[in-house]
Structure 1
Amino acid sequence: MPPSRQSASVGAVRRSFAPWSDSHAKPLIRVEDVTKRFGDALAVDSLSLNIFEGEFFCLLGPSGCGKTTLMRMIAGFEEPSEGRITLAGQNLAGVPPYRRPVNMMFQSYALFPHMSVEKNIAFGLKQDGLPKDEIASRVGEMLRLVQLERLAKRYPSQLSGGQRQRVALARALAKRPKVLLLDEPLGALDKKLREETQFELMDIQHELGMTFIVVTHDQEEAMTMADRIAVMDHGRIAQVATPGEIYEQPKTRFIAEFVGDVNILEGHVLGQEKGLWRVQSPAADAPLTIDDPDEVLHTGQAVAIAVRPEKMVIQRDPPEFDAQNVLTGEVWDIGYLGDWTVYRVKLASGAILRVTRANKSRFVQNPIDWDEQVYVTFAPDAAVILAE
C-alpha cells in the first residue's frame, strides 16, 4: 500500500473518539445473536452489535429493515425471541422499561398538552419521587441546555415543531439515563431546522457525554451526527463503520446505493497490472483501471464499480491520450442546485451517469449544455470494486 494511503483518513474526522478500535475497551451495550419474530415474520435476524459509552450511534436503513424493532428491544418494549442484550454487563432479559437505565424519545414527541414546558420536563422526575428542589434544579438545567428558559410556562400548542422537539429531548434527558434512544427524532421538522438541530444534538450529546442511539432512514442525518453507523437490511447488519468509511468504502452494492448517490458500472476482472485492477466494462471502450487493494479478485469475476458523482470529472474537450477511465456520452439532463450542478450523461451503452460539479464562481464561461458530447473521467483511487 502506498505511504500516502497509510497516513490518509477515510473521510473527515469529527472527533478523536474510537473506543471500538481499542481491544481493551468494553462495550456499554452488547447485542448478541438477537433474533425477533412476529409470528412468521422475521424482523431481526441473528444480529450482533457492540455500542460503546459516550458514542453517538445510528441505526440506518429503509423502512422494514428492523432498526426500530432493535431499538425497542433495547428499550424493553419488545423481548428478543432468541439471543440476549446486556447493558453495562447486566442481562436485560425480563427487565421492564422503567427499570432500565435508558430513556426513549419518540418520533411523535408525546408531550402532555395540558402541561407547561417545565411540567412536561418534570413529569418523569415526579413519577420517580425525587425531592422538589432537585426536580426544580434539573428542570432548570434542562431548560438551559435546550435554550427554552423563556418558554418554560408555555404549553405545547403554543410552540413550534422545533421547540416541541426540544421539550421532548429535555424530558428524556432529565432522568439522566445511561443511554438515550431517539426514534426518527427530526422527522417532523422542515429541512433547514432539521439541519440546524442535527448539530445541536451533537453538541448536547458531547456536552453530557451520554450514549445516544438514533434510528433514522435519512442518510444525511446519520452521516452528520453519528460516530458510527450500522446500516441494516432485512433484519441484518450490512456494515458498521464511521460515516467516512460507510460512504467511501461501502462493503456491498446495497450500501453503496443506499448511502448517497453513486454510479454503478458493471464489468468483469481482466487481472492486475502494477498493483491496479483492470476491469472490462461495456460502459467504456478501454478497460477501467481501479486502485482498490483491499479486494481479492480473480480473472473473469463479475464485479460492480462504484463511483460517487463528485469524484467524476466532466469536460467537452477530449482528455489527454494517456488518461485513465474515460467514458464518453451525451448530456441528457442538467440540474442547477446552487452550490452544485448535476449532469446526467447517457453513455453509448445506454447507462446514465450522474456527475456533479461544484459551482466555485458565480459566472461560468461557455458552460456545458444539453445534448453536448462530453467526456467523463475518474481517478483509479476514486472507485470501489464491489464483488457482492
Structure 2
Amino acid sequence: MSGTEGVGVSAPVKSQKAIGGVRRKFQPWNDPNAIPLIRFENVTKRFGDFVAVNDVSLDIHEREFFSLLGPSGCGKTTLMRMLAGFEEPTSGRITLGGKDLAGVPPYERPTNMMFQSYALFPHMTVADNIAFGLKMDGMPKAQIGERVAQMLKLVKLEQFSARKPHQLSGGQRQRVALARAVAKQPKVLLLDEPLGALDKKLREETQFELMDIQVELGITFVIVTHDQEEAMTMSDRIAVMDHGKLIQVATPGEIYEQPNSKYVADFIGNINIFEGKVAERAGSTVSIASAATGRTFTVESNERVSVGQTAYLAVRPEKMRISFDAPATDINALGGEVFDIGYLGDWTNYVVDIPGLDKRIRVSTANMSRFVERPISWEDKVHVSFAPDAGVLLTK
C-alpha cells in the first residue's frame, strides 16, 4: 500500500523478502512436542440462558496467524473478548504462556486489541496516537520517539506523522491503529474485524500487508472475521464456529478441500451438494445413488460409510466442467439448462438448472482465452460433469 489516498494498484507492493518460506515451514500444530501459547480448556460463556460459547477447547501457537471465522452470533467475538479480559468464562480455563488468565484484568495481560472502528484520538497526530500507550506505560521519552519512528516505518506512514486522523484515508487510519496496537510489543494482537471499513480492493491489498507485518514482528495474531476470503488469505489456521461451538479447526487448504461437514463446506466459498444413499463401496470408490437426479455418482473417498447410509457429495464449482457436448464417459455427468451467467473477467460463473434438483448448481470456468467460438449463453442446453476425485464425501 502506498501513501496515496486509497488509490488501487494492480498487485501488492513488493516487500524486501518473500515470507513464503517462513509460512511454508511453520506448522507447530503438527508437532506433538510443541507447547501452545494460548489454550482454551472446555470454555463456556453464558449470558443468562443464552450460551454464547459452548465447551470450546482450542490451542493457538506462538507466531501463528489464527482466524476465528463464522456468522454473526456464532461466539467468535465472545471468545476473543474472554482472551482479552473483557469477559470472564462461566466455566473452563484460558491460559496464555502457561499462566491462568482468570481474574487478570485486560491491562495486565500481554495482549492488545485492534477494533474495526480503529478508535483513534481525533485531536492527536498520527505520531501521538502511536505513542499514547507507551506514555501510559511510563516508557522514557527517548525510547518512545525511537519506537514511534520504527512503527511509522513499519506501516509506511513516516511522511504522515504530523497529520490528524481526519486527514487520512481509511487505509491509512487502519495502519495507524495497527502501529499503535503493536507499538507495545504484545505477545498477542487481537484484531476484531480490522478490515471491515475498507473497500474491497484496499482490503485485499491490506491482507497481504498484515501477513508481512505479522511475520516480521513475530507476534501471534488472532483475528475475528465473518469474511471467508479474508480468513483464507491470511491465516495459518482457521477455526470455523457455529452456535458457540467449534465445527472445524484446520489450515485454509484443508478447510476448503476437506471440509468435515455440510456446514463447513457450504460456509466456505460456493459448493454444490448432492444428497443420496450409499449404493456400493469398492476399495476407495463409493457410489452414491441420488433419487432427485435418478443418477448414481462415483467419488473417491476413505470416509467410513455403509451401504444404505445417507451421504452427501460436495463438489466445488471450479472442479466441474460445462460444455455443449456430452462428456466421453457417463460417470458423474448431468444434463441441464443455463439459468444465469456471471462474467467476472478472469472467471465465468454459470448457474444451471438440473431436472429433479430443487437447487441450481454452479459451475465456474477460467477465461484463459479472449475469444470463444461459440460462448455458452442463457437457456442453452449443456452437460455438466466432474471427476470421481473432484468431490468430497460427507456424512454430516
For the superposition of Structure 1 and Structure 2, which TM-score range results when normalised by the shorter chain? over 0.9
Q: What's the offset of the Cα at 1:362?
A: 1.1
1:156 and 2:165 are equivalent in the alignment: yes
SS of equivalent residue, structure 2 residue 295: coil
1:378 and 2:386 are equivalent in the alignment: yes
Q: 1:247·1:259 contact (CA, 8 Å) conserved in 2?
A: yes
Pairwise CA RMSD: 1.1
1:361 and 2:394 are equivalent in the alignment: no
Give the corresponding residue for 1:177. 186
Q: 4+ residue runs of structure 1 moved beyond 6 angstroms?
A: none
Q: 1:58·1:226 contact (CA, 8 Å) conserved in 2?
A: yes
Q: 1:17 aligns with which of 26, 42, 46?
A: 26
1:276 and 2:285 are equivalent in the alignment: yes
Question: For residues 208 and 334 of structure 2, what CA distance do their matches in structure 1 show?
Answer: 39
Question: For residues 283 and 164 of structure 1, what CA distance do their matches in structure 2 show?
Answer: 53
Q: 1:348 aligns with which of 343, 347, 355?
A: 355
Q: Which letter does structure 2 place at the counterpart of 1:357?
A: T
Question: For residues 275 and 303 of structure 1, what CA distance do their matches in structure 2 show?
Answer: 15
Question: For residues 235 and 241 of structure 1, what CA distance do their matches in structure 2 show?
Answer: 17
1:98 and 2:137 are equivalent in the alignment: no
Unpaired stretches in structure 2, ≥5 consecutive residues? 1-21
Give the corresponding residue for 1:309. 317
SS of equivalent residue, structure 2 residue 339: strand
Give deviations 1:218-248, integer Å, cap 9, x for gaps.
0000000000000000000000000000000
Give the corresponding residue for 1:10. none
Which aligned pairs between 1:1-388 and structure 2 lie closer than 5 A?
15-293=24-302, 295-320=303-328, 322-350=329-357, 351-388=359-396
Unpaired stretches in structure 1, ≥5 consecutive residues? 1-12
SS of equivalent residue, structure 2 residue 265: helix
Question: For residues 122 and 342 of structure 1, what CA distance do their matches in structure 2 show?
Answer: 49
Q: What's the offset of the Cα at 1:39?
A: 1.0
Question: For residues 138 and 100 of structure 2, what CA distance do their matches in structure 1 show?
Answer: 26
Question: For residues 211 and 271 of structure 2, what CA distance do their matches in structure 1 show?
Answer: 27
Question: For residues 31 and 281 of structure 1, what CA distance do their matches in structure 2 show?
Answer: 41
Q: What's the offset of the Cα at 1:286?
A: 3.4
Question: For residues 296 and 312 of structure 2, what CA distance do their matches in structure 1 show?
Answer: 13
Q: What's the offset of the Cα at 1:14?
A: 5.2
Question: For residues 342 and 108 of structure 1, what CA distance do their matches in structure 2 show?
Answer: 35
Give deviations 1:315-338, integer Å, cap 9, x for gaps.
111111x34211111111111111
Q: What's the offset of the Cα at 1:370?
A: 1.3
Q: 1:26·1:52 contact (CA, 8 Å) conserved in 2?
A: yes
Give deviations 1:263-288, integer Å, cap 9, x for gaps.
01111100212530000113544311
TM-score when normalising by structure 2: 0.93
Q: Which letter does structure 1 place at the counterpart of 2:366?
A: A
Give deviations 1:290-328, integer Å, cap 9, x for gaps.
0011x10011111111100000000111111x3421111
SS of equivalent residue, structure 1 residue 278: strand
Give the corresponding residue for 1:8. none
Question: For residues 212 and 288 of structure 2, what CA distance do their matches in structure 1 show?
Answer: 45
Give the corresponding residue for 1:6. none
The total of aligned residue pairs comes to 374
TM-score when normalising by structure 1: 0.95
